[in-house]
């Protein structure tokens, strides 16, 4: 085909189909082979173009040269860039972005625009020369799509290309996609077979040995070989879980094995994320470690080693050659090896753990056999120490016991170097690490004795030897009687909690030996004591019977015994008196006391039978109205206990009967008094608190709970200092306690703090309560909240001060101008002075009128006649009355009523005064050219309907710091001082009182800036429909 003449459509399609077939036939076993075939076939068609493939990072990469070798060499000398392998972002090139997004070929009129977007910024100054060498022509870019996957893009440039040629180019791109798909499918099949061979090979390695070091080393070397890495390593978490160590390294210096704490290096990122981490330039990674950078790492691949749900370490593969990187298929292969390494480590650990458990069991069995075969304490403890030392691969083992006489710890067995020095030293409880374990009764691991401040040096032993210790208490019947210790002279072999648990088992065996020795010693002493006690007991029994009979007969309580039939076999004199009978009559086998039925109540015989059959407790205490021989009854307390023989079979009962009639009367009187006192404290308005002499609260009444915000269950047990606000001096509290502890009552005022942090003033009276020896045992405090009284007093003083100030100003002016009037030489000045006097008199009159109105509103004496009121009509009249005045001041006054506004129940005269005051203020503080708008609205707030009236102006605004003071009496803000607007400072206070009288509220909104103005909103309740 000619570059200058466009071929016929049939010839073009024929040529493209031939080229597509040739691509399919010539496609080699790689994607680069397909790319070369596409480029060569395009050259056969006399067009320039190339195939770009999409990388995982989203960039397009050129795989072949797009121009002749000579032109390629010229462009390389000019730009320093090689077209093969050049990468660019398709999203920054319009025609590529459109083609990839739309999935169809795109035609561009000028190739120069496309090239300008592809070249990097540093080359763009050379763009005119590049375009001159390439020449101008149309270009078509077609996406290379296989199924749902975009593989890359095909570009074709020729002078004769037209938009309708996009179909031909897209067809050629589709054939290229099919060829790429065949290559990738073949590669995937080969990779799958390769991975399966690797898994079989790794599985054979794992199964070949249970030596963890050997298995993991083989897996690591195979992973390095199969991924093309140049070095590698396997890092495993240390027992503390906070450090990690590369226990296996290949191709790297041995000093890189050092521990890495959590958060340091890429290895922790892999372990914590449990995801592969690929770094193409390790030296520039924020997680790079200097020692590893010096080792020459370039591209790194880290993969987590996961066993079950737990990450136990990481597999690291490293490339040192700066021209190479890990590819996607290598990452996938490495993931398989990471899984195999984790399995190998799990299997070897399981085997090691099972072997260790078996050895532990054998050692414990040997120590148990020693305990059962000998009663010699020294022999048994020595054997236990030997077994522990061997099992823990320790350098020493010892046992300290507490001497009950001296109260000091002595080493009784030491299987270690310097044993004699150890055994010579005695320790007090709490002294040294051994004494600390004795005192706390808790096991202890110290993996570096030199940094533990509790450790002490044993005289006669080296001072600088490194030591790691595991210490456990020896407990006999919950009492710590000694300490067992194992030690290692190597900081690189620390003890772990699992070993501490095993050492506890050895300590338990030692404790058993101690107990056996103690019991053996006690048996002989016990036999001697028994002989002496039998003789003494015989003598005591005789005396005990005599004392018992005397005690029973002189007891004030009634005592009886009954046989299996419920018949009395014995009754003392006290019970006979209660029943109104003689002792002889009581002991003539009468039924149990009170056995007859009274008012159909259960009788004692019923209880007795149930007790004999096990249906009631063997011992029972209950109240009972005891019938007497004269027909009355006596309130008593019955205590009954069943008598059993040596086989536990019932033989009868023993009973104790107490006359509680006097106690019942006292209890009734006491309960009545308690009820009366409780009613008083519950309903009294004053807060009452009862404390002990240390100030701990024992009781508070409901008024105290309401005042302070604490519930009774929260306050009881706490100190009254919980109410301390810090406003009182230490001297005041010192005087208070001195007064109370001397037995006198203290009265005063305190500022207390509630639970919510708010403060209140309280008048407090505290009285001490004394016992029979006149010792103070409790305090009773009564508090009255006087915050409102103090606030009223402050408001009264402030009001008097404000009124005095406001009245003094016009009166001073009146007196001044009266003096000036008397000395005025001409009529003109007299007239001016008289006008000033008139204004000051009016001001004084207005001030007094406002004061009277405000006082009548507060006192509730002003007439209040609410009736249905139409706010739209009221405001319409008000606006019409003020429209001329507003116009004379250059102000635009408007009313925006809401149609259908509900009526409100209000006093029309008082509401008119509110809106008049608000409108007057708006006119006074809005400059010429401003606007004032009145609006009525229906709104909802707090889930309730409201009718609102808004008075909004575009005036000077109100600063934020003044808005909280607007409704205070006599307050006039900065705007009133700047504009010298007339007023008393009472208008808004009157408005608030009137609106409060209508159960409404007034709110203000302002940005505090001139021109943005202020909006007052009056909220009133609508009438119920």
Q: In sequence order, what are the beta bridge partners of 108?
A: 139
Would you call 170 helix, strand, or coil by DSSP? helix
Rounded mean pLDDT of 993-1007?
Answer: 90
Q: Which CATH architecture has domain 9-190?
A: 2-Layer Sandwich (3.30)
The CATH T-level fold of domain 209-355 is Beta-Lactamase (3.30.450)
Q: Which CATH architecture has domain 555-665?
A: 2-Layer Sandwich (3.30)
Would you call 732 helix, strand, or coil by DSSP? helix
> What separation in angstroms does the CA of 978 have from each of 813, 891, 973?
20, 19, 9
Distance CA 545, CA 561 (A): 16
CATH of domain 791-856: 1.10.287.130
931 pLDDT tier (thresholds 50, 70, 90):
very high
Write the pLDDT tens digit of every residue in 341-383.
Answer: 777 777 666 665 556 555 555 555 555 555 555 557 787 788 8
935 touches 876 (CB < 8 A): no
Q: Is the pLDDT of residue 613 over 90?
A: no
Q: Is the pLDDT of residue 88 over 80?
A: yes
657 touches 638 (CB < 8 A): yes
Q: Is the pLDDT of residue 137 over 60?
A: yes
Would you call 111 helix, strand, or coil by DSSP? helix
Model pLDDT, residue 598: 39
For the entire predicted model, the pTM comes to 0.33
Query: Which segments of 889-959 does DSSP mark as H helices, in order?
Result: 908-924
873 pLDDT tier (thresholds 50, 70, 90):
very high
1022 pLDDT tier (thresholds 50, 70, 90):
very high
- DSSP calls for 50-79: EEEEE-TTS-EEE-S-SS-HHHHHHHHHHH
Model pLDDT, residue 209: 59
Model pLDDT, residue 205: 58
421 pLDDT tier (thresholds 50, 70, 90):
confident
The DSSP letter of residue 719 is B
Model pLDDT, residue 194: 64
Q: Is the pLDDT of residue 803 over 60?
A: no
691 touches 698 (CB < 8 A): yes
Q: Is the pLDDT of residue 805 over 60?
A: no
944 pLDDT tier (thresholds 50, 70, 90):
confident
Distance CA 117, CA 92 (A): 7
Better-predicted residue by pLDDT, 25 or 783? 783
Other beta carbons less than 10 A from residue 1019's beta carbon: 18
**Tokens encoding 4:** 């200058």
Better-predicted residue by pLDDT, 427 or 548? 427
The CATH T-level fold of domain 684-785 is Beta-Lactamase (3.30.450)
Question: What value does the mean pLDDT of the chain take?
Answer: 79
Model pLDDT, residue 961: 83
Q: Is the pLDDT of residue 206 over 60?
A: no
Q: Does domain 863-1020 have CATH number 1.10.579.10?
A: no
Distance CA 387, CA 390 (A): 5
Model pLDDT, residue 690: 93
904 pLDDT tier (thresholds 50, 70, 90):
very high
The percent of residues in the chain predicted with pLDDT above 70, rounded, is 80
CA 873, 877, 879, 884: dihedral to nearest 10 degrees? 160
Tell me the CA end-to-end span of the chain in Å, nearest whole number. 93
Those residues with Cβ within 8 angstroms of residue 725's Cβ, 6 or more apart along the chain or in another chain: 751, 752, 753, 759
Q: Which of 20-24, 512-516, 752-756 has the highest mean pLDDT?
A: 752-756
> What separation in angstroms does the CA of 765 have from each of 686, 700, 744, 902?
11, 15, 11, 55
Boundaries of every domain in the chain: 9-190, 209-355, 374-522, 555-665, 684-785, 791-856, 863-1020
Q: Is the pLDDT of residue 939 over 80?
A: yes
The CATH T-level fold of domain 374-522 is Beta-Lactamase (3.30.450)
- φ/ψ of residue 567, rounded to 5: -95, 140
> What separation in angstroms does the CA of 821 have from each of 183, 838, 844?
117, 13, 19
Rounded mean pLDDT of 411-435?
Answer: 88
Q: CA angle 724-727-733, nearest 5°?
A: 65
Distance CA 263, CA 619 (A): 68
| The two domains 9-190 and 374-522 share their CATH topology (first three levels equal) | yes
850 pLDDT tier (thresholds 50, 70, 90):
low
Model pLDDT, residue 936: 95
């Amino acid at each position: 085909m000619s570059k200058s003449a466009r071929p016929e459509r049939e010839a073009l399609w024929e040529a493209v189909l031939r080229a597509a077939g040739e691509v399919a036939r010539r496609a080699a076993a790689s994607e680069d082979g397909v790319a070369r075939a596409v480029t060569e076939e395009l050259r056969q068609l006399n067009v320039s173009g190339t195939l770009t493939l999409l990388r995982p990072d989203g960039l397009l990469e050129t795989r072949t040269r797009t121009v002749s070798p000579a032109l390629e060499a010229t462009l390389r000398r000019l730009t320093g860039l090689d077209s093969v392998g050049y990468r660019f972002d398709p999203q920054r090139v319009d025609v590529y972005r459109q083609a990839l997004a739309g999935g169809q070929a795109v035609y561009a009129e000028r190739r120069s625009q496309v090239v300008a977007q592809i070249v990097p910024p540093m080359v763009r100054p050379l763009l005119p020369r590049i375009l001159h060498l390439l020449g101008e022509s149309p270009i078509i870019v077609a996406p290379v799509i296989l199924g749902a996957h975009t593989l890359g893009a095909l570009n074709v440039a020729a002078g004769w290309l037209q938009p309708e040629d996009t179909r031909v180019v897209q067809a050629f791109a589709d054939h290229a996609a099919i060829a790429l798909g065949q290559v990738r499918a073949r590669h995937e099949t080969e990779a799958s077979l390769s991975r399966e061979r690797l898994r079989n090979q790794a599985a054979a390695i794992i199964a070949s040995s249970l030596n963890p070091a050997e298995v993991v080393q083989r897996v690591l070397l195979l992973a390095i070989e199969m991924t093309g890495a140049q070095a590698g390593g396997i890092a495993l978490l240390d027992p503390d879980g906070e450090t990690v160590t590369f226990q296996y390294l290949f191709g790297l210096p041995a000093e890189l094995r050092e521990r890495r704490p959590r958060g340091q290096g890429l290895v922790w990122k892999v372990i914590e994320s449990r995801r592969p981490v690929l770094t193409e330039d390790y030296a520039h990674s924020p997680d790079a470690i200097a020692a590893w950078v010096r080792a020459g790492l370039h591209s790194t691949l880290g993969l987590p080693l996961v066993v079950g749900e737990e990450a136990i370490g990481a597999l690291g593969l490293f490339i040192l050659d700066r021209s190479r990187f890990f590819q996607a298929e290598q990452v996938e292969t490495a993931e398989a090896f990471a899984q195999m390494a984790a399995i190998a480590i799990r299997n070897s650990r399981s085997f090691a753990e099972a072997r260790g458990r078996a050895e532990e069991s054998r050692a414990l069995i040997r120590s148990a056999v020693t305990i059962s075969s000998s009663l010699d304490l020294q022999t048994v403890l020595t054997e236990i120490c030997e077994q522990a030392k061997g099992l823990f691969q320790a350098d020493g083992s010892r046992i300290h016991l507490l001497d009950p006489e001296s109260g000091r710890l002595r080493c009784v067995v030491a299987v270690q170097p310097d044993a004699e020095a150890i055994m010579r030293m005695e320790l007090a409880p709490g002294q040294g690490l051994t004494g600390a374990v004795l005192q706390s009764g808790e096991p202890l691991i110290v993996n570096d004795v030199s940094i533990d401040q509790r450790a002490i040096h044993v005289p006669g032993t080296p001072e600088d030897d490194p030591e790691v210790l595991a210490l456990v208490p020896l407990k006999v019947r919950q009492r710590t009687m000694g300490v067992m210790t194992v030690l290692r002279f190597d900081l690189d072999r620390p003890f772990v909690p699992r070993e501490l648990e095993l050492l506890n088992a050895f300590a338990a065996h030692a404790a058993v030996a101690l107990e056996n020795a103690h019991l053996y010693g006690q048996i002989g002493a016990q036999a001697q004591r028994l002989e002496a006690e039998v003789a003494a007991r015989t003598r005591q029994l005789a005396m005990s019977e005599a004392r018992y009979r005397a005690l029973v007969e002189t007891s004030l309580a009634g005592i009886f015994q009954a046989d299996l039939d419920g018949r009395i076999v014995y009754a003392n004199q006290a019970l006979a008196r209660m029943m109104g009978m003689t002792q002889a009559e009581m002991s003539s086998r009468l039924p149990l006391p009170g056995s007859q039925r009274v008012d159909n109540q259960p009788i004692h015989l019923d209880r007795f039978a149930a007790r004999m059959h096990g249906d009631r407790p063997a011992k029972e205490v209950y109240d009972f109205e005891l019938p007497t021989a004269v027909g009355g009854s006596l309130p008593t307390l019955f205590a009954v206990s069943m008598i059993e023989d040596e086989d536990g079979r019932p033989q009868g009962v023993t009973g104790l009967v107490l006359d509680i009639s006097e106690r019942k009367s006292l209890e009734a009187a006491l309960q009545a008094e308690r009820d009366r006192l409780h009613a008083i404290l519950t309903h009294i308005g004053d807060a009452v608190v009862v404390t002990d002499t240390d100030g701990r609260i024992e009781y508070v009444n409901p008024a105290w709970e309401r005042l302070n915000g604490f519930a009774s269950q929260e306050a009881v047990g706490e100190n009254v200092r919980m109410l301390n606000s810090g406003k009182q001096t230490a001297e005041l509290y010192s005087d208070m306690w001195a007064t109370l502890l001397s037995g006198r009552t203290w009265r005063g005022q305190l500022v207390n703090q509630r639970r919510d942090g708010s403060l209140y003033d309280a008048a407090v009276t505290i009285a001490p309560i004394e016992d029979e020896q006149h010792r103070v045992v409790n305090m009773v405090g009564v508090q009255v909240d006087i915050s409102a009284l103090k606030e009223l007093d402050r408001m009264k003083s402030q009001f008097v001060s404000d009124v005095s100030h406001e009245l003094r100003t016009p009166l001073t002016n009146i007196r001044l101008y009266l003096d000036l009037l008397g000395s005025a030489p001409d009529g003109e000045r007299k007239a001016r002075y008289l006008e000033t006097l008139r204004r000051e008199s009016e001001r004084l009159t207005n001030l007094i009128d406002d004061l009277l109105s405000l006082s009548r509103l507060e006192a509730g004496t002003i007439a209040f006649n609410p009736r249905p009121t139409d706010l739209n009509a009221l405001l319409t009249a008000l606006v019409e009355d003020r429209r001329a005045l507003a116009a004379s001041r250059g102000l635009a006054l408007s009313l925006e009523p809401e149609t259908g506004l509900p009526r409100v129940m209000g006093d029309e005269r008082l509401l008119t005064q509110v809106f008049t005051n608000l409108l007057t203020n708006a006119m006074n503080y809005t400059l010429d050219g401003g606007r004032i708008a009145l609006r009525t609205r229906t709104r909802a707030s707090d889930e309730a309907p409201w009718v609102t009236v808004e008075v909004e102006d575009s005036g000077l605004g109100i600063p934020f710091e003044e808005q909280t003071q607007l409704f205070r009496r006599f307050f006039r803000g900065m705007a009133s001082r700047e504009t010298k607007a007339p007023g008393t400072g009472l208008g808004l206070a009157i408005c608030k009182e009137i609106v409060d009288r209508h159960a409404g509220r007034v709110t203000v909104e302002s940005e505090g800036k001139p021109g943005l103005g202020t909006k007052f909103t009056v909220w009133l309740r609508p009438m119920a429909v």
